[in-house]
Structure 1
Amino acid sequence: MKSTKSNKKAEKIKIYCIFTILLVFGVLLMAPFAWMVSVGFDRTANITMPFPPRLIPEVPTLFNYGIVLENGKLIQAYINSAIVTISSVVITVSSSLLAGYAFSKGRFKGKKLLFIIVLGTLMIPMEPRLIPLYKLFNSVDLLNTFWPLILPSVTNGMLIFLCKQFFDQLPDTLREAAQIDGAGEFKIFFRVYFPLAGPIAATMVILAFIWSWNDFLWPLVVLTNQDLHTVPLYLASFSLENGTSLGGLTMALATVSVLPIVVLYLFLQRYIIQSIALSGVKG
């Protein structure tokens, strides 16, 4: 009895220690975001940034957020980012699901070699690809359009890998049973496996959304027309124009720029948990 009680007590202490460590790291990670939101509510930060930093403004006000939301350029940047991001997410998730299913359940020559090539793309950073991609889209006269931001998302090695790993956990007997009924590969995918892929699809939507919405370097290269600037480009240009002044407006603008990502994550977080839980299902 004593050993059992001592084991339970040690287990509780262990859980409390882990919780405390995670709480400390969570607070440290959230502190910059909390400060960003706080400065956005501080009108005096447009004159000089508060030092030392404070989490609660002396006189909280919605003045900065009112100006930001009335800014026509920000609204246009939001529209541009929405067009690019939604298109990229749809293309990326759709192609990754199909490719992941093919690599997992498909039977064709060169599958392993082709999958290795797809994984090899993960080792190539964006910087070495800038010049070839720029020349490619320049040759077809697509610069200063949204197409250079959308089309490269057709192939995403990371998401294809995640999809393959997910479909590997689903039983092959589902496919075999559908084949016995005379279903083709596309019908098997859309009728059998696609309804089961909701959790991994939600995870990919969030990842693809974050990558596309926050993309800065590639849009900076291909979009010289300010009317086509996305939210990160507009935020950068606003910061460069004003320097250290208008800190409150800058932080309010930064808060508004990350808001769609936060809302999307809160809406889809339960599906992410499901995808992690289902990763242990065996066929």
Structure 2
Amino acid sequence: MREKLNQYVMIVVLLIIGVLFISPFLWMLSVSIDRMANMRIPFPPTLIPDEMAAFNYEIVFENGKLIRAYVNSSIVTLASVIIQVSAALLGGYAFSKGTFRGKKLLFLLVLATMMIPIEARLIPLYQMFNSIGLLNSLWPVIIPSVLYGFGVFLCKQYFDRIPDSLREAAQIDGASEFRTFFQVYFPLAGPIAATLVILSFMGNWNEFVWPLVVLNDENLHTIPLFLASFSLENGTSLAGMTMALATMSVVPIIIVFLFFQRYIIQSIALSGLKE
């Protein structure tokens, strides 16, 4: 009886916490479909506006800048995700199963990159890309994504749990190191790969500081930059359109998270790995 009571209490507490976390998003969605929100911000906040309409979304999509920002964010994010996940998987495998001199020192250097904030790297990165003439293009936003120390660390910890006997058996059969990785270890890396895709997608889609420094052309602005510039220009005078833009900016993240969350569970179940 006491265990059931504890479970009910835990469920109620988690529901309350969940409602608190999701309430800002629900209010953002409510304001975005409020036709009168551009003239006045509804106060006190209500979940169901008095006059619901898709007016704000129609105005937002009529402006081609949003579509262009979506295209820029999609290019940057997809390219960065592919680079980061590939580099993290290969690096994690090398540090976990590889045998080479200086492995521990190199791994410490990779971990050290996690301790350097982006603010400390802004000037050196800016000068480097300025010297090779790549500023004001999407390349400076994509290329630094290859340095993904956190992903390498996660992959190393994951590959450490996979028995070394699989690698030894592949080597006995004459498989090269790359063939061993792609045919033996990569199929078992579904859970960590899906996790890295979610984290990488969220981080790159929401990246603001570094693109703000290197992207001066409005035609190259990503979603966060476009939303920030729109908010600075209009403030709270167009709250409905601002919230519509904010809603559209988080929709891809929600879709990717929900999609790959299912694959994480499936990958863990199909991998055959146990603690």
Q: What TM-score does the superposition give when structure 1 sets the normalisation length?
A: 0.94
Residue equivalent to 1:248: 240
Q: CA deviation at 1:274?
A: 5.3
Structure 2 distance, partners of 1:190, 1:209, is 23
Q: CA deviation at 1:281?
A: 2.9
Residue equivalent to 1:188: 180
Structure 2 distance, partners of 1:235, 1:79, is 14
Residue equivalent to 1:214: 206
Structure 2: gaps spanning 5 or more residues: none
Residue 32 of structure 1 aligns with an amino acid whose one-letter code is P
For the pair 1:99 / 2:108, whether they are aligned, the reply is: no
Structure 2 distance, partners of 1:51, 1:83, is 39
For the pair 1:117 / 2:143, whether they are aligned, the reply is: no
Structural mapping, 1:51-90, within 5 Å: 51-90=43-82
Distance 1:161 1:254, change over 3 A: same
For the pair 1:271 / 2:249, whether they are aligned, the reply is: no
Structural mapping, 1:13-162, within 5 Å: 13-162=5-154
Distance 1:113 1:239, change over 3 A: same
Structure 1 distance, partners of 2:268, 2:108, is 24
Residue equivalent to 1:281: 274
Structure 2 distance, partners of 1:279, 1:222, is 45
Q: What TM-score does the superposition give when structure 2 sets the normalisation length?
A: 0.96
Distance 1:226 1:279, change over 3 A: farther
Residue-by-residue CA offset, 1:65-102 (whole Å, 9 max, x unaligned): 11122220000000000110000000000011000000
Residue-by-residue CA offset, 1:225-273 (whole Å, 9 max, x unaligned): 1110000000001111111111001001100011000011111112334
Residue-by-residue CA offset, 1:99-153 (whole Å, 9 max, x unaligned): 0000111111111111111111111111111111111111111100111111111
- Give the superposed CA RMSD: 1.5
Structure 2 distance, partners of 1:87, 1:235, is 22
- What fraction of aligned residue pairs are identical, expressed as a percent? 65
Structure 2 distance, partners of 1:274, 1:98, is 22
Structure 1 distance, partners of 2:111, 2:7, is 38
Structure 2 distance, partners of 1:165, 1:275, is 17
Where in structure 1 do 4 or more consecutive aligned residues deviate above 4 Å?
A: 274-280
Distance 1:255 1:92, change over 3 A: same
Residue-by-residue CA offset, 1:177-199 (whole Å, 9 max, x unaligned): 10000001000000111111112
Residue equivalent to 2:220: 228
CA contact (8 A) 2:111 2:149 kept: yes
